[in-house]
Every structure is written in structure tokens, then in C-alpha cells.
Amino acid sequence: MNWFTSLLTSTLGRKMIMALTGLFLVLFLVIHLIGNLQLLKSDGGNAFNVYAQFMGHNPLIQTVSIGNFAFILIHAIWALLLTLHNRRSRGEVGYAVSNNSSAWMSRSMGILGTLILIFLIVHLQGFWFQMKFGNVPFVTVDGKDVKDLYTVVDAAYQNIGFVALYVFSMCALGFHLWHGFASAFQTLGLNHLKYNPIIRFVGRAYAIIVPALFAIIPIWMYLN
């Protein structure tokens, strides 16, 4: 095996892939959030629709988004492979009684991740797929015709079940990030007694603020 394959197949290498893809997705969430926050502007959705148009047509964003999908897939598939490997490592007979002394979210990254994946499918089907291939009416903003995604979103967020699903999924995302953010740094070896508290603080703040802002949007739109 050359060094690259042994890196990718070692337990440490696999973890590294989880961490790198995870951190990329963390960055992506910020970009996504900035766009979504346009929904809160009381301009009848113009700003949001311009943003959606930009995201859907800018060649650089298009390239990055392919990467984004790839990273989501890799993150999920590698997680599955690792989980299967780790299950096997316990051996055929497991414990009858277990009082694991780790935090619940640290132990439940697989479940949380699966919930997020299910949410992603619903989410993409509802908006991204509509935007790309669906029949979204056009509106004119600043003299340009753009797809009126705002109306699609607004309509969706009038459904209380849909809003609940969003809020619930953002909770899952929050827990996932609560562990995942700092964990990625730990896995990459970016750990230093001096900076660990900052990483942990930023990670936890991120895990609360970003999902909370995501979740506020549907609630706000539902109430208005």
C-alpha cells in the first residue's frame, strides 16, 4: 500500500475525512444561513429571490455546490463505514449492561446524522429540486426575471407540520454540531491547551446560534 491509500484506509485517515468534510459543511451552513436570513426582510421576498437566483447561476457557486453534495455523500458514507467497522470491533457479544459515561450527543452522532440526512432529502426535494426542475413562477426584481422561490418557501412554511419538522431537524443539527465542531478539530490534531477552550466555546456557540437562526425563520414566517 502506498502512503496515500494507507492514510485513507487507516482508522485515523477515515476520521480525518469525516472531520474535513464536516468542517466544510460547517462553512457551507454559514453561507446558506446568510441567504436564508434574507427571508426575514420585509420586501416581499425580493432580496431572497435575488440571492436564490445568484446561487443557482453563478458558475463558481455551482462548482462548489457539486463539491458540497459530494461532501455530504462522503460524510454520510464514511460515517456508515466507520460505524460498521466500530460495531465489529466490539466483537460478537456485547455488554448486557452499559452505563456509558460520555455525553449523549457524542454517542449518538450516527442517529443525529441520519435524522439530518432524512431532513436534507425532504428539504432538497421541497426547495432545491423545485428551484432546479420544478415549475416555479417568475417575478421581476430590478428589471430582471427571477424565479419566485420566496412564494414557494412562504407557502411551505404555512404548514405547521413542515415547520415542526424544520425545528426538530435543527435541534438534531444543533446536537450534531455541539459534538462535531470541536471533535473535528480534535481529529485533525488541532488541539492546544491554550486554544481548546476557544475552540470549544466557538463550537458550542455555533451549534446553538446557527441552528437557532435557521429554525427561527420558519417560525417567524408561520406566525406572520
Give the span between the Cα atoms of 154 and 33, in whole angstroms.
Answer: 16
Q: Is residue 197 a contact residue for another protein (CB under 8 A)?
A: no
Q: Is residue 223 a contact residue for another protein (CB under 8 A)?
A: no
Nearest Cα neighbor of 117 from 180, 172, 67, 62 is 172
End-to-end CA distance of the chain: 60
Identity at 143, one-letter amino acid code: G
Closer residue to another protein in complex, CB, 60/90: 90
Interface of this chain with another protein, residues 81 to 120, rule: CB under 8 A: 82, 85-86, 88-103, 106-107, 109
Closer residue to another protein in complex, CB, 109/116: 109
Q: Is residue 14 a contact residue for another protein (CB under 8 A)?
A: yes
Give the span between the Cα atoms of 39 and 71, in whole angstroms.
Answer: 26
Give the span between the Cα atoms of 128 and 29, in whole angstroms.
Answer: 15
CB of 19 to another protein, least distance (A): 9
Q: Is residue 80 a contact residue for another protein (CB under 8 A)?
A: no
Closer residue to another protein in complex, CB, 25/153: 25
Q: Is residue 135 a contact residue for another protein (CB under 8 A)?
A: no
CB of 108 to another protein, least distance (A): 10
Give the count of alpha carbons within 13 A of 184, CB side only.
Answer: 21
CB of 217 to another protein, least distance (A): 31
Among 187, 207, 221, 222, binds another protein (CB under 8 A): 187
Give the span between the Cα atoms of 172 and 108, in whole angstroms.
Answer: 10
